[in-house]
Chains A and B, each alone.
Chain A
Amino acid sequence: DTGVSQDPRHKITKRGQNVTFRCDPISEHNRLYWYRQTLGQGPEFLTYFQNEAQLEKSRLLSDRFSAERPKGSFSTLEIQRTEQGDSAMYLCASSFHRGLPYGYTFGSGTRLTVV
C-alpha cells in the first residue's frame, strides 16, 4: 500500500492556460474524491467517483473544471482557461465504501499557482 499519489506536486501556470492533475488512489479503494483547499481554510468538495462513475459534482464547480476516472483506476482533474482564483491546493482522497463509511486517505496534493 503506497498511499494516494498526486502529480505534479506543484504547478505554476499563466492565466488562460489549461492544466491537468493526476491522482492514483489506493488500489483497493472504490471511491475517489477531489477537494480544493485555500490557505487557512478547510478542504472544499469538488467531485467524487465510485469506481469509474462520477456520482456527484459540486454546484460551485464551473464548467471549466472536468474530472475523469477511466476504468476506475487513476483520475485526472483538468482546469481549462485558468484564472487567478483557481490558485489553491488540489487534494485527492480515496476511501473504501461498502455500506458503512470509512475515513479518507488524502494524497499530498497539487499546489496550483496561476500568475
Chain B
Amino acid sequence: QQPVQSPQAVILREGEDAVINCSSSKALYSVHWYRQKHGEAPVFLMILLKGGEQKGHDKISASFNEKKQQSSLYLTASQLSYSGTYFCGTESLADNNAGNMLTFGGGTRLMVKP
C-alpha cells in the first residue's frame, strides 16, 4: 500500500515556504525524498531513518515522526529551481528484511513562480 502525499499540487511565489506531507499506514524503517523534473529522472534529496530524526539540506529539510508514520518535507525561501514533482519513498519495517525496497507516494507537484 503506497504512502499518501499531500497536497497533490502547490503553487508558490519565489521566496515563499511550503510543506509536503507523506503518511503511511505501515510501521516505517526509513523515508526517502526525491525531486523529479519533467522528463528527467528522480533525484535523491535525503533519507530519514527510524528514530524520529530531522535533517537539513540547504533550505530544504525534513522530519520523520515515527509514532505517526509521517514525514514532512520543508522548503523555505523557495527558488525557481525547486519546481518539480516531489516523491516520498517509504521502506516499511517488514520490508527492511527484504532490504531497502521503496514504495513511492503519488507525488506532489510544486510550481514556483517569479
Which A residues are within 8 Å of any B CB, using their own CB? 4, 31, 33, 35, 40-45, 48, 50, 55-56, 91, 95, 97, 100-109
Contact = CB atoms under 8 A, between A and B. Distances in A.
29 contacts: A35-B104, A41-B106, A41-B107, A42-B2, A42-B104, A42-B105, A42-B106, A42-B107, A43-B42, A43-B104, A45-B102, A45-B103, A55-B99, A56-B98, A91-B42, A95-B100, A100-B49, A101-B29, A101-B30, A101-B91, A103-B32, A103-B45, A103-B47, A104-B34, A104-B89, A105-B44, A106-B34, A108-B40, A108-B41
Interface residues of B, number: 27
Given A42-B2, A42-B87, A50-B99, A103 B107 contact: no
A44 B29 CA distance: 19
A97 B41 contact: no
A33 to B, nearest CB: 7
A45 B46 CA distance: 19
A22 B99 CA distance: 23
